[in-house]
Amino acid sequence: MSEDIKRIFSSNLKEYMKINSENATKLSNSLNFSYSTVSDWINGNKMPRSKSLQILAEHYKLSTTDLLKQKNVRSNNEYHPSNNTKIIEKLITTQITGDQLDSILSFIDFTTRNNTGNGDSKK
């Protein structure tokens, strides 16, 4: 198996774990995978079998392709819609007040109107 696909998958898995505030223990326990298996995936030592890949995709509400495709490299300050969407989705699925929801929606509206996609705001 290509080392590139292992590296890409490992990077994507780490990103989705971070977005969902998960560590290897939490992920392995919640999906009933062994810790060593999850650790091997995170470290790019092994790839999950197709059934495990599907379980991971369902866990993160993604397609298996989302876990396997190369993402564009971005700076830390740059707009990253997939991260923002996941964070907002997580916030909305928890109990928030109407005022908090209004603030979130205002932020989304501001970002989409004022973002060129390259991290620079429109003037």
Q: Domain residue spans in the chain?
A: 3-68, 75-123
How far is it, in rounded angstroms, from Cα 83 to Cα 18?
9
pTM for this prediction:
0.59
pLDDT computed for residue 78 by the predictor: 45
For the chain, percent of residues with pLDDT exceeding 70:
61
| 78-91 confidence digits (pLDDT tens) | 445 555 666 666 66
* CATH 1.10.260.40 applies to domain 3-68: yes
CA distance 19 to 49: 23
Q: Which amino acid does the sequence have at 75? A: S
Q: How confident is the model at residue 122 (pLDDT cuts 50, 70, 90)?
A: very low
Picking from 94, 68, 86, 88, the residue whose alpha carbon sits closest to that of residue 18 is 86
